[in-house]
């Protein structure tokens, strides 16, 4: 079992990473003083419920917790204000009070949604994450929770830190291969912004990761969570440093928006975005290696590196200009300066970005 | 002009109280570094818009701010998730970004609603309060913002402190008399929990307050805000001390719920609730004076002290047991021990409360 601490003063919390942790959930919850007198609500989605809910319910019930569950449809559509409202209703019906906790069992969608319910319910109750996707290693650190609005993703939200995170590697064995790869995209992102040695390790161990080797996976997730935790500790409210976590995301979000959220998974979109950022970095003076390594490791992880031809460049540019990261009209980009190192460039010209987008369509695969 | 500071470390903010402050809003906003490059959104209701919106818009526009306005229907019904969603949509359409501010121009309804939009929009943007009711002196201190759910009031919310509060006494001149009285109910509450001298002052100056004498009003609101600010400073997240602010609210909320929100205004309901708490206090050993003074000052302010006969006692008891303040099954009451002094009693028996409710129906007026 590995443990990563997210240091945030009195809001600090641990991430436990290991196999079979769900079976021991009662012990962990008890250790973290989750109330047995107040009911708790597990939020999960249909795919995860089928495979992992009974295990969690029984572990918690056996340990003496009052357990209720809410199962939402899988997918980004559930991160909506209307599902949020249904969950608040469910919480009231189950009698959740100020000492209750909400438990997110699932990927980033369930984590963001349930976390926002926990943030808002009675102005904030306890929150526990049990991530079941690789991508959710990212959402389990930092306390960003949110739902979407038809006009913009993640626009309605809060910062709400969990009490603890239980990362049970056993759940990842049932994850579809495409989601495995998409999740690894954020793992390698953490290497690319912060840790050259870890980037090299992923480059060498891509196959073990894709095969869900528990030892490799546990190591990679603990490093990934650890890097994000370091960044977040230094900048909880996303003022400046935390922006480096957006490597590949400016282009990536635009691609998701233009392609529609079905064609490209988030991790796939930011994979293409990171190749774009690497190109941008090299244009702005970074060594050629930045581009070569970035592209190679993403390819080895089975991730796309070429921008789909049919996506309209104008539409992509338009989507980027609507991105919330552009405050007060400036265009901000996270740009690599070396492997494991990035800087925030606040004056990237629209023309240069357009050029990069065009080149990404020609990227050799 | 009076100034009260709400001390909350790096979230501290000032409340400016005086006549004609709306005309100077541009100066105050500039002083507090509200962005002129990012648009800002004024939220108000129809009643207030008619009387005071144009003044504010013109003051801010003249000072160089980019001003948008959203006008919601007046009344508690606007504190809903659906109006909240409309305001987020409006915010997106106006291009509000992370440096934008939301300005609440109105009473507690507008303050709570707009404040929650500010708390949630992009996970939190700046918030400015311009209260236009007496009751809103209460909601302008403490950062509690929320909307209602059909099953429970204020259940969806956050703690989100404003940048500044501009309390323009001139706006209060257009307030209906019934709302004046209801607002004074929370003002005297602050005396009853904290300050015997202020309670005596209100007792002596009730008529000046009801006549909206600016000098008396400015004094009373600054003391009222000041007391709440002291309590909140010591307990921002409502752990314990802050509960004393709920004097009269346990019974009061139940009355509002049972009577329907049209029959009793919040301030009227808690006026009756405070008489009940005073009775409870005397039963538990406080001097008789606690009851006598409480009832006299509320009567002088034109507030109801008798519980309407037709409200069913069982329904009131039932509503109290659903109140969110009863966590883990204990029944918690704020009980006066002297004028200007209260204690939290965590073991008040249901029978005693029922007896008090019955007596409140017989209260001489
Ligand atoms: N809060 C943050 O900091 C943060 C960071 C990154 C991403 N996110 C959010 O995370 C979301 C994406 O996360 P995601 O990729 O985990 O999406 P997801 O939660 O939708 O999971 C992906 C798919 O895998 C299924 N699934 C999950 N666990 C499974 C398992 N163990 N076995 C089988 N199927 C399983 C889900 O039902 C879903 O169909 C986005 O909404 C994104 O905005 C948030
Ligand atoms: N956040 C907090 O800490 C806190 C504290 C106390 C109360 N509240 C909330 O405040 C709300 C009640 O506040 P309220 O009594 O101010 O209600 P309100 O905002 O509905 O105002 C009362 C009425 O007066 C009208 N009005 C407001 N200003 C006016 C003016 N200057 N001239 C003419 N008409 C005017 C309004 O349109 C409304 O019809 C409740 O929702 C309550 O939950 C919040
Ligand atoms: Zn991401
Ligand atoms: Zn009140």
pLDDT digits (tens, 9 = 90+) for B205-214: 999 999 999 9
Q: Among B174, B196, B216, where does a domain finish?
A: B174
Interface test with A, best of B85, B112, B115, B123 (most A CBs within 10 A): B123
Percent of residues, chain B, with pLDDT higher than 90: 87
Query: Could you tell me what percentage of chain A is helix, strand and coil, using 3-state DSSP and rounding each to the nearest 5?
Result: 50, 20, 30
Decide if B113 contacts B83 (C-beta within 8 A).
Answer: yes
How far apart CA B323 and CA B249 sit, in angstroms, is 10
What percent of chain A clears pLDDT 90, i.e. is strictly above it? 87
Residue A12, pLDDT > 90, answer yes
CB distance A155 to A112 below 8 Å:
no
Whether residues A218 and A287 fall in one domain: yes
User: Which of A148, A174, A200 is the last residue in one of the domains?
Assistant: A174
Band of pLDDT at residue B260, cut at 50, 70 and 90: confident
One domain, residues B155 and B241:
no
A220, A195 contact by CB (below 8 A): no
CATH of the domain at B15: 3.40.50.1970
Q: Give the nearest ligand 1 atom to A183 CA.
A: 15
The total domain count for chain B is 2
- Residue ending a domain, among A174, A208, A232, is A174
**Residue B35 sits at the chain A interface (C-beta within 8 Å):** yes
Q: Which of A300, A241, A236, A294 is nearest to A270 (CA)?
A: A294
pLDDT at B328 over 60: no
Angle between helices A249-259 and A313-321 (to 10 degrees): 120
CB A250 within 8 A of CB A241: no
User: Ligand 2: which of B6, B19, B47, B236 to mutate, most ligand atoms within 8 Å of CB?
Assistant: B47
Contacts with A93 from chain B: Cβ below 8 Å: 151
Ligand of minimum distance to the alpha carbon of A182: 1
Least confident of A264-278, A327-341, B24-38: A327-341
Is there a single domain that holds both residue B160 and residue B197? no
Q: What is the mean pLDDT of residues A269-274?
A: 98
Please report the pLDDT score of residue A327 as a whole number: 47
The verdict on B141 and B230 lying in the same domain is no
Binding site listing of B? 108-112, 132-133, 144, 153, 171-174, 186, 249, 266
CA distance B335 to chain A (A): 22
pLDDT band at B343 (very low <50, low <70, confident <90, very high): very high
Q: Is the CB of B174 under 6 A from ligand 2?
A: yes
pLDDT at B288 exceeding the cut of 70: yes
Q: Is the domain of A151 the same as that of A201?
A: no
Which atom of ligand 1 lies at the shortest distance from residue A136's CA?
16
Q: Which residues of B touch A88 (CB under 8 A)?
A: 149, 155-156
Chain A nearest C-alpha distance from B155 (Å): 5
pLDDT tens-digit readout, A96-138: 999 999 999 999 999 999 999 999 999 999 999 999 999 999 9
- Tell me how many degrees the CA angle A154-B107-B126 measures, rounded to the nearest 5: 35
| Best residue of A120, A125, A127, A237 to probe chain B, by most B CBs closer than 10 Å | A120
pLDDT of amino acid A328: 45
- A60 & A188 share domain: no
* B38–A327 CB contact, under 8 Å: yes
* Shared domain check, B115 and B227: no
pLDDT of amino acid A36: 98
Axis crossing angle, helix A214-234 with helix A177-194, rounded to the nearest 10: 50
- The minimal CB distance from B149 to the residues A38, A88, A159 is found for A88
| CATH classification of the domain holding B182 | 1.20.1090.10
Distance from Cα A256 to the centre of ligand 1, integer Å: 15
Q: List for chain B the helix, strand, coil content (%; round to 5).
A: 50, 20, 30
Q: Region B250-270: what's the mean pLDDT? A: 91
- Average model confidence (pLDDT) for chain B? 94
Q: Is the CB of A300 under 6 A from ligand 1?
A: no
Count of A–B CB contacts within 8 Å? 87
Q: Which residues of B are catalytic?
A: 123, 144, 186, 228, 238, 242, 246, 249, 253, 266
**Ligand 2 centre from A140 Cα, in Å?**
39
User: Are A160 and A221 members of one domain?
Assistant: no
Q: Ligand 2 centre from B182 Cα, in Å?
A: 10
- Model confidence over A31-77: pLDDT tens digits? 999 999 999 999 999 999 999 999 999 999 999 999 999 999 999 99
Asked whether residue A166 falls in the same domain as residue A221, the answer is no
> Average pLDDT, stretch B150-156?
92
B321 touches chain A (CB under 8 A): no
Structure tokens at B92: 């997106």
pTM assigned to the model? 0.93
> What mean pLDDT is predicted for residues B342-349?
91
Chain B residues within 8 A of A81 when measuring between CB atoms: 81, 85
pLDDT (tens digit per residue) in A277-315? 999 999 999 999 999 999 999 999 999 999 999 999 999
Examine the domain organization and report whether B258 and B192 are in the same domain.
Answer: yes
Is residue A251 scored above 80 in pLDDT? yes
Q: Compare CB distances from B328 to A89, A97, A122 and report the shortest one's residue.
A: A97
Query: Does the distance separating the beta carbons of A328 and B37 come in below 8 Å?
Result: yes
Query: Is pLDDT at B329 greater than 70 in this prediction?
Result: no
Answer for the pair A126, B327: CB distance below 8 angstroms, yes or no: no
Do the chains contact at A92 and B326, CB–CB below 8 Å? no
Q: What is the rounded end-to-end Cα distance, in angstroms, of chain A?
A: 38
Q: Is some CB atom of chain A closer than 8 A to the CB atom of B322?
A: no
Say how far apart CA B312 and CA B316 lie, in whole Å: 6
**A78-91 pLDDT tens trace:** 999 999 999 999 99
Cβ of B78 closer than 6 Å to ligand 2, yes or no, is no
Q: Is A249 in the pocket of ligand 1 (CB under 6 A)?
A: no
Chain A touched by B121 (CB under 8 Å) = yes
- Asked if B120 reaches chain A (Cβ–Cβ under 8 Å), the answer is yes
Which residues, numbered 37 to 76 in chain A, qualify as contacts with chain B under a Cβ-Cβ cut-off of 8 Å?
Answer: 37-38
A144 among the known binding-site residues? yes
Q: What is the pLDDT of residues B313-327, one digit of tens each?
A: 999 998 888 765 454
Q: Say how many C-beta atoms besides its own lie within 10 A of residue A330's C-beta.
A: 11
pLDDT at B327: 47
B219 and B236 in a single domain? The answer is yes
Residue B118 C-alpha to ligand 2 middle, in angstroms? 18
List, in sequence order, every beta strand (DSSP E) within chain B.
Answer: 2-6, 13-18, 40-45, 67-72, 101-106, 126-131, 144-149, 152-159, 164-168, 333-338, 341-345
Q: Quick check: A326 pLDDT over 60?
A: no
pLDDT in tens, A207-245: 999 999 999 999 999 999 999 999 998 877 767 788 999
Q: Which residues contact B77 (CB under 8 A, 6 or more apart)?
A: none
- Are B220 and B333 within one domain? yes
pLDDT single digits (tens) B221-258: 999 999 999 999 887 776 778 899 999 999 999 999 89
Give the residue numbers spanning the domain of A319. 177-361
pLDDT of amino acid A124? 98
Q: Is residue A329 within 8 Å of A321, Cβ to Cβ?
A: no
Residue B174 in contact with partner chain A when CB distance is under 8 A: no
Instruction: Indicate whether A157 pLDDT > 80.
Output: yes
Q: Is B143 in the pocket of ligand 2 (CB under 6 A)?
A: no
Contacts of A54 (CB under 8 A, 6+ apart): none
A260 pLDDT more than 60: yes
Overall average pLDDT of the B159-175 stretch? 97
């Amino acid at each position: 079992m590995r443990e990563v601490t997210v240091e945030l003063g009195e809001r600090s919390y641990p991430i436990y990473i290991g196999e079979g942790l769900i079976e021991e959930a009662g012990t962990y919850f008890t250790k973290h003083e989750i109330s047995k007198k107040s009911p708790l609500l597990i939020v999960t989605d249909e795919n995860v419920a089928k495979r992992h809910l009974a295990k969690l319910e029984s572990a918690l019930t056996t340990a003496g917790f009052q357990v209720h569950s809410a199962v939402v449809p899988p997918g980004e559509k559930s991160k909506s204000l209307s599902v949020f409202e249904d969950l608040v209703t469910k919480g009231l019906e189950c009698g959740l009070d100020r000492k209750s906790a909400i438990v997110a069992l699932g990927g980033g969608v369930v984590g963001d949604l349930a976390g926002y319910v926990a943030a808002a319910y009675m102005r904030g109750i306890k929150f526990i994450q049990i991530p079941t996707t690789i991508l959710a290693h990212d959402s389990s650190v930092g306390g960003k929770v949110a739902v979407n609005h038809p006009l913009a993703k993640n626009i309605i939200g809060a910062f709400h830190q969990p009490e603890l995170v239980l990362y049970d590697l056993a759940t990842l064995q049932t994850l579809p291969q495409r989601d495995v790869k998409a999740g690894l995209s954020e793992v390698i992102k953490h290497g690319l912004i912060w840790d050259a040695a870890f980037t090299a390790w992923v480059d060498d161990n891509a196959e073990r990761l894709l095969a869900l080797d528990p030892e490799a996976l546990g190591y990679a997730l603990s490093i990934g969570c650890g890097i994000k935790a370091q960044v977040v500790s230094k900048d909880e409210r996303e003022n400046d440093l935390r922006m480096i976590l957006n490597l590949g995301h400016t282009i990536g979000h635009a691609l998701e928006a233009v392609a529609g959220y079905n064609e490209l998974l988030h991790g796939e979109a930011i994979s293409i975005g990171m190749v774009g950022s690497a190109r941008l970095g090299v244009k702005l003076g970074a060594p050629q290696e930045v581009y070569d390594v970035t592209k190679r490791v993403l390819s080895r992880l089975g991730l796309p590196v070429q921008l789909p031809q049919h996506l309209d460049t104008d539409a992509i540019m338009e989507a980027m200009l609507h991105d919330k990261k552009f405050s007060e009209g400036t265009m901000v980009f996270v740009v690599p300066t070396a492997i494991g190192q990035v800087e925030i460039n606040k004056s990237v010209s629209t023309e240069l970005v357009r050029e990069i987008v065009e080149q990404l369509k020609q990227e050799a695969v």
